[in-house]
Amino acid sequence: MMPELQLTKWQLVRDGDVITTPHARLWPVRLPDGSAAMLKVSTEAEERNGHRLLRWWDGDGAVQLLAHDHEAVLLERAQPGVSLRAMSIAGQDAQATALLCRTAACLHRPRGALPEGLVDLQDWFKALLQPTIALSPLLEQCRSLASTVLAAQIEVRPLHGDLHHDNVVDGGARGWLAIDPKRLLGDRAFDYTVLFCNPDLCGPGIHVAIQPDVFGRRVDQVSALGGLGRTRLLRWIAASAGLSAVWFLEDGSAADVDLAVADMALRQLARTGG
């Protein structure tokens, strides 16, 4: 059911069918001046709190937050266009990776006082650092690396936390815009890691991220574009992929993509002595 309270409060007119995701419902709407927007109501705490970073970014590299009311947010609506998922699958992964790196750099720009309610990256890694399941030797390596990089964080910033191919959308004249931030606070290197398991995790039957040649090229590209040392980046990739794998395994799901990416990162680290 569409939230009538916000519909009336913000004088919105419905402009399309509802879009349902695992943790939210979204309604395309029109504002009183006729411009397009998206009304989103989430059932998940992280998505409900995404407004904190969206307000802080103020449309710079992310969709514009137009209004917020309890569990509902009113957002700028990006018009349908080329998706980074489709771009990557179609053999243009280097271009998609460059756009993700550009978006991350934009979001990480200094903007004054930090917003309230950010989640410390140390807490975000709890599932890997204090697992409720038995860890394989590979995941034990990831846990050890996570402890190391978390204890030595530098360039601490507000982070998107889930910057992948389906969370950066084509904003037309506005450029590429991030959506659905997880409102984290930590080493900026972490924001470059989630893309390494995607677009494979964006949907079934996608096999891009798990290809060793793609992984190797991405490490070179992200290291250069993100201004990150290879060892630092590889350590964060292994830690991030390990965390994602544990989340999947705790839910009783397969974690093949995350485990493959973690393994490639660990193998490169072993070859470089990192």
Active-site residue flag, 162: yes
Q: Compute CA distances 71 → 6, 78, 94, whole Å.
A: 10, 21, 37
ω into 199 cis (within 30 of 0): yes
Residue tagged 């309270």 (tokens):
5
Q: Is 156 left (phi over 0), alpha (psi -120 to 50) or beta?
A: beta
- Tally Cβ neighbours within 10 Å of residue 127: 17
Closest to 200 in 3D by CA, of 84, 26, 78, 46 = 84
Residue type at position 27: W
- Phi first, then psi, for residue 260 (nearest 5°) are -65, -45
Catalytic residue among 33, 120, 162, 213: 162
Count CA atoms within 13 Å of residue 35 on its CB side.
10
The residues that are catalytic are 162
